[in-house]
A and B are shown apart, each in its own frame.
Chain A
Amino acid sequence: MEEIKFTIDGQEVTAKPGQSVLEATLAAGIYIPNLCYDPKLEPYGGCRLCVVEIEGMRGLPTACTTKVTPGMKVRSETPEVHQVRKITMELLVADHPLECLTCSLNQRCDLQKAAAFLGVDQSRLRRSERALANDESNPFFVRDFKKCILCARCVRVCSEVRGLGAIDMAKRGYEAFISPFAGLPIADSICESCGECVDHCPTGALYVRGEAILPGKEVKTICPYCGVGCQMVLGIRQNRIVKVLGDLTYPVNSGSLCVKGRFGLDFASSEDRLKTPLIKKNGQLVEATWDEALDLVASRFKEIKKKHGGQAIAGLCSAKATNEENYLFQKFIRAGAGSPHIDHCARL
């Protein structure tokens, strides 16, 4: 594919065909403040922080909605551009709780980053605060309306990536807020709690319950729940999983996860978790080794087959197993045990 050359503040940069000015500029390591841009989503042009000057274009176009054309001359650091961005940021900050220290997004927050870049002076504006109580109805995540900057990334990821559209913007003007249909709490909506919206929120307006602990290290792994095999990045601290993120670089799920993978891994460090097989002896469950357990199962299968025929045995396999494992399992039931009774949980 041919590369397109253009300049930003006099510096020559190359872009891939179809790339927006913002994408190409960020890829070249030059920061343009942005909040509603999301690499996985269609351009939106809502936050207006990425305004730039482009020779031959009227007004101040947004870098995220403008495709690069050969020879384009973009200016991102003119006084006029800076002034518009700065006032926009001041307006956002004047309407934002100043709670960074206790916010679960502290140090990972795009709003913080952009505000720091622009250097806002916020004392001169009238402060405001939206009068909406948090939506605490979801067991896994919370929506704090006061911290919402209405970038609509949550809305768009739910419809463009999940294909669900559980939420949208409601009302107009300053009253506007993100809401499921008919203003219901999220728990009473069609939301599947996949958490994709939480993951894409640039601020602390959507946050995972109890997740304000920074991980000590990160581990890449495959989700244990199903055969899709989503790759995930686990944040680990003191041998416990404190954070789960989809791996953006992995082609199978490109960063997406479902409710089980994202919010269902707490079993890993649960007190109640089984770590060895148990065999019932005299009415008591007793810890055993895998060899003992498998020997027992094999001998019982043989007995049953001999006494009642293979038909007396049935197998139910799981979506947690891979295709290959499921194949082997049905082979085992059909050819090994000689039974036609094989089924799978995903069919139920």
Chain B
Amino acid sequence: MRFEQLQARAKKAWQEVVSPQIPLIRMGMATCGRAAGGQELLQAFQEELAKNKIQAQFSEVGCLGLCYAEPMAEIILPGRPGVLFAKLTPAKMKKIGEDYLVHGKIVGDSALAVMGPARNGTPAFTDLPMVKGQQRTALRNCGIIDPTNLDHYLAHDGYVGLKRALSLSPDEVIAEVKTSGLRGRGGAGFPTGQKWEFCRKATGTPKYLICNADEGDPGAFMDRSVLESDPHSVLEGMALAAYAIGAEHGYIYCRAEYPLALERLDLAIRQATEHNLLGDNILGSGFNLHLKIKMGAGAFVCGEETALMASIEGRRGMPRTRPPFPANQGLFGKPTTINNVETLANLPPILAKGGAWYAGFGTEKSKGTKTFALAGKVDRTGLIEVPMGITLKEIVFDIGGGSPIGKKIKAVQTGGPSGGCIPAELFDLPVDYERLAAVGSIMGSGGMVVLDENTCMVDVARYFLEFTKNESCGKCAPCRLGTRQMHEILTDICAGRGRPGDIELLEEIGAAVRKGSLCALGGTAPNPVLTTIQHYRHEYEQHIQDQRCFAGVCKALITYSINAETCNGCRVCATNCPQQAISGEKKKPHVIDTALCIKCGICYEMCKFDAVVRQ
């Protein structure tokens, strides 16, 4: 089939989705939707409809990124735009079946949004506070199309970028990507066009392209989401990159913990090969590309490019010194380009719409859009994609909705275990590579954890160091032993065993580990410690000198007591205390026996009169 014929077929297929003959129910069924119970919900609903002889068709879509609202389903009635229903439960689903599917009525505020203009009080999807500030580029199709359906991808300008690129020379493709200003989304932010040019110019054959789908940052799941929800956009991106650098073989290195992503990739590769979008003589251009999937065992360090290549070659995944850089000596010693999933998913629209279009978003040095995995103490958690240069305030408060329980937001942690904490006082900071680095953090792969006033910053640093300590590959001494040493000191501080001089020692070791380590795992591992010391030194001091944790997190440094003035003797605390540590007569002030108390905090949470005091 010629490409134009393929597109025509795809348009028809998509038309059947947006204006179906019988009601269409589209269930969010990426790992997130499944984890929230989407599969069971769908099955129960199908049975329910069959029982009542209601005709409907079903399909799966990927992830829209509104984690807080999962599980979600979009229902499209003939002749109407789709309506998105959120936070579904079996009972809610049953009710919606009756109200909307049968009677066409949206009752109360049961619907989250309309996938079109607002209607009868239900807002338009694009007007939702979480969606409004977003500019979905890499995520453009996620949650919109059925990821197992090639036609759906094609109907959304799929492979248009590749078609255009194949009519250009590789150098022209590189120039287009340079114009776009796209920088690697895997963490380091290296300009993609320039990276390709190095590899294109390198001598040696064959050349290889690698898609880095290892995604080891705890809390980051943008790559998984794209792979599960829109695998063809990654494949098209790979075809573009391979064409530009002159590679005919590519690897996708994906962790085995992503079974659904692997399944979808495998299917997408077969579909693309069948339709001459991969394989030999792609779209009649004479360009060949063969892709292989390589499963990783889930070590964080295997996301580092040289370790990843060692792992593909069958060796232990450990980084090596660069230079030589992969562009000159990469996989099997051959010139290699390695790009991140999100980087690749940005490419098809860049080639389809032009680099200048993409460069229209963002700041001077950081162009385009970036995804963030918004998590922590924020109302609307999820996966978002925003133009670079947006402020942290907009992300945390406009998109995320601030604290769900009215607490004061204290900081955000960006960049995962390699990143740092940025205090709320700096929330006017526009988010881009340079500005995040200037305050000691990094963009990383886009983890963003919101911390509120009940977060202890020493504990946060300890948490991340625990991760890097375990994930250091063990090759170099400063990283392997330095992360362990820092973790030990932080654990001591949290346990009330901090010693005078520990803060300075952490700073000293942190600096040495940063400068002395071989790869960026060790090079960035001290960031969570150093930034929390930089911005919250007083919390460290309180822990060590005053033996106090004012956030109330470090158990060894807090005590619970009951304020006799406010306690009215309701006995709620005493009944719920697992240790029977609370005594007192009914309607008289109670007391806590600190010898028995295990500091679980239950009484503190349960007392309606705020009479339990945590110090």
Flag if B516 contacts A126 (CB, 8 Å). no
- CA–CA, A325 and B357, complex, Å: 83
- CA–CA, A61 and B488, complex, Å: 28
A-B contact count (CB 8 A): 112
User: What's the minimum C-beta distance from B498 to chain A, rounded to whole angstroms?
Assistant: 12
Chain B residues with Cβ under 8 A from A87's Cβ?
478, 482, 508-509, 512-513, 516
- Chain B 142-162: CB-based contact to A (< 8 A → 1; otherwise 0): 000000000000000000000
List A residues 285-334 near B (Cβ within 8 Å). Answer: none
Chain B interface mostly:
helix
List B residues 342-364 near A (Cβ within 8 Å). Answer: none
Flag if A128 contacts B477 (CB, 8 Å). no
- CA–CA, A47 and B518, complex, Å: 9
Flag if B316 contacts A88 (CB, 8 Å). no
Flag if A172 contacts B473 (CB, 8 Å). yes
Chain B residues with Cβ under 8 A from A340's Cβ?
none
Chain B: CB-nearest residue to A177: B474
User: What's the minimum C-beta distance from B187 to chain A, rounded to whole angstroms?
Assistant: 17
Chain B: CB-nearest residue to A89: B477
Of listed A80, A94, A152, A174, residue having the most chain B CB within 10 A? A174
- Chain B 450-490: CB-based contact to A (< 8 A → 1; otherwise 0): 00000000000000000001111111111011111100110
Chain A: CB-nearest residue to B519: A45
Does chain B have a CB within 8 A of A84?
yes
Flag if A172 contacts B301 (CB, 8 Å). yes
Interface residues on B, range: 35 or more
Chain B residues with Cβ under 8 A from A172's Cβ?
299, 301, 470-474
Flag if B518 contacts A174 (CB, 8 Å). no
Chain A residues with Cβ under 8 A from B316's Cβ?
168-169
Flag if B476 contacts A46 (CB, 8 Å). yes
Does chain B have a CB within 8 A of A118?
no
Q: A48-B518, A174-B481 are in contact. Are A84 and B492 (CB under 8 A)?
A: no
Checking B471, B512, B515 against A173 with a beta-carbon cut-off of 8 angstroms, the contacting residue is: B471
Interface size on A, residues (CB 8 A): 37
- CA–CA, A175 and B482, complex, Å: 14
Flag if A173 contacts B472 (CB, 8 Å). yes
Does chain A have a CB within 8 A of B501?
yes
Flag if B518 contacts A173 (CB, 8 Å). no
Chain A residues with Cβ under 8 A from B476's Cβ?
45-48
Q: A48-B517, A126-B489 are in contact. Are A169 and B480 (CB under 8 A)?
A: no
- Chain A 105-124: CB-based contact to B (< 8 A → 1; otherwise 0): 00000000000000000001
Chain B residues with Cβ under 8 A from A80's Cβ?
515
Does chain B have a CB within 8 A of A38?
no
Chain A: CB-nearest residue to B510: A87
User: What's the minimum C-beta distance from A118 to chain B, rounded to whole angstroms?
Assistant: 12
User: What's the minimum C-beta distance from A159 to chain B, rounded to whole angstroms?
Assistant: 10
Flag if A46 contacts B518 (CB, 8 Å). yes
Flag if A94 contacts B485 (CB, 8 Å). yes
Flag if A173 contacts B321 (CB, 8 Å). no
Chain B residues with Cβ under 8 A from A134's Cβ?
none
Checking A47, A65, A124 against B321 with a beta-carbon cut-off of 8 angstroms, the contacting residue is: A65
Chain A residues with Cβ under 8 A from B480's Cβ?
150, 173-174, 176
Does chain A have a CB within 8 A of B318?
yes
Does chain A have a CB within 8 A of B505?
yes
Checking A62, A125, A150 against B474 with a beta-carbon cut-off of 8 angstroms, the contacting residue is: A150
Flag if B321 contacts A84 (CB, 8 Å). no
Does chain A have a CB within 8 A of B320?
yes
- CA–CA, A128 and B480, complex, Å: 13
- CA–CA, A92 and B485, complex, Å: 11
Chain A residues with Cβ under 8 A from B301's Cβ?
172
Flag if A91 contacts B474 (CB, 8 Å). no
Flag if B321 contacts A149 (CB, 8 Å). no
Does chain B have a CB within 8 A of A60?
yes
Q: A168-B316, A172-B299, A172-B471 are in contact. Are A91 and B518 (CB under 8 A)?
A: no
Chain B: CB-nearest residue to A149: B477
- CA–CA, A46 and B515, complex, Å: 14
Chain B residues with Cβ under 8 A from A84's Cβ?
478, 512, 515-516
Chain A: CB-nearest residue to B522: A48
Flag if A173 contacts B470 (CB, 8 Å). yes
Chain B: CB-nearest residue to A171: B474
Chain B residues with Cβ under 8 A from A62's Cβ?
321, 518
Does chain B have a CB within 8 A of A83?
yes
List A residues 15-48 near B (Cβ within 8 Å). Answer: 43, 45-48
Flag if A124 contacts B516 (CB, 8 Å). no
- CA–CA, A169 and B307, complex, Å: 14
Chain A residues with Cβ under 8 A from B321's Cβ?
43, 45, 61-62, 65
Chain B residues with Cβ under 8 A from A85's Cβ?
516
User: What's the minimum C-beta distance from B360 to chain A, rounded to whole angstroms?
Assistant: 32
Flag if B509 contacts A173 (CB, 8 Å). no
Flag if A51 contacts B516 (CB, 8 Å). yes
Does chain B have a CB within 8 A of A144?
no
Chain B residues with Cβ under 8 A from A48's Cβ?
476-478, 516-518
Chain B: CB-nearest residue to A43: B321
Chain B: CB-nearest residue to A150: B474
User: What's the minimum C-beta distance from B119 to chain A, rounded to whole angstroms?
Assistant: 54
Does chain B have a CB within 8 A of A135?
no
Flag if B477 contacts A91 (CB, 8 Å). yes
Chain A residues with Cβ under 8 A from B299's Cβ?
172
Does chain B have a CB within 8 A of A59?
yes
Q: A60-B516, A126-B489 are in contact. Are A92 and B505 (CB under 8 A)?
A: no
Checking B482, B488, B515 against A128 with a beta-carbon cut-off of 8 angstroms, the contacting residue is: B488
Of listed B318, B492, B511, B515, residue having the most chain A CB within 10 A? B515
- Chain B 306-344: CB-based contact to A (< 8 A → 1; otherwise 0): 000000000010101100000000000000000000000
Chain A: CB-nearest residue to B499: A124
Of listed B301, B471, B476, residue having the most chain A CB within 10 A? B476
User: What's the minimum C-beta distance from B600 to chain A, rounded to whole angstroms?
Assistant: 29
- CA–CA, A40 and B473, complex, Å: 24
Q: A87-B508, A150-B474, A169-B316 are in contact. Are A94 and B489 (CB under 8 A)?
A: no
Does chain B have a CB within 8 A of A218?
no
- CA–CA, A245 and B518, complex, Å: 33
Q: A126-B488, A173-B471 are in contact. Are A94 and B481 (CB under 8 A)?
A: yes
Chain B residues with Cβ under 8 A from A128's Cβ?
484, 488
User: What's the minimum C-beta distance from A108 to chain B, rounded to whole angstroms?
Assistant: 21
- CA–CA, A62 and B476, complex, Å: 12
Chain B residues within 8 Å of A, Cβ to Cβ: 299, 301, 316, 318, 320-321, 469-478, 480-485, 488-489, 492, 501, 505, 508-509, 511-513, 515-518
| The 5 residue pairs across chains A and B that have the minimum distance between CB atoms | A176-B474, A87-B512, A91-B481, A65-B321, A84-B516
Task: Please give 11 more A-B residue pairs, beta carbons under 8 A apart, in addition to A84-B516, A95-B481, A174-B474.
Answer: A47-B477, A48-B517, A51-B515, A84-B478, A92-B481, A94-B481, A149-B477, A172-B474, A173-B473, A174-B484, A176-B473
A-B contact pairs, 23 of them (CB 8 A): A45-B321, A47-B476, A48-B478, A51-B515, A51-B516, A60-B515, A60-B516, A61-B321, A84-B516, A87-B509, A87-B512, A88-B477, A91-B477, A91-B509, A128-B484, A149-B477, A150-B474, A169-B316, A169-B475, A172-B470, A174-B470, A174-B480, A174-B481
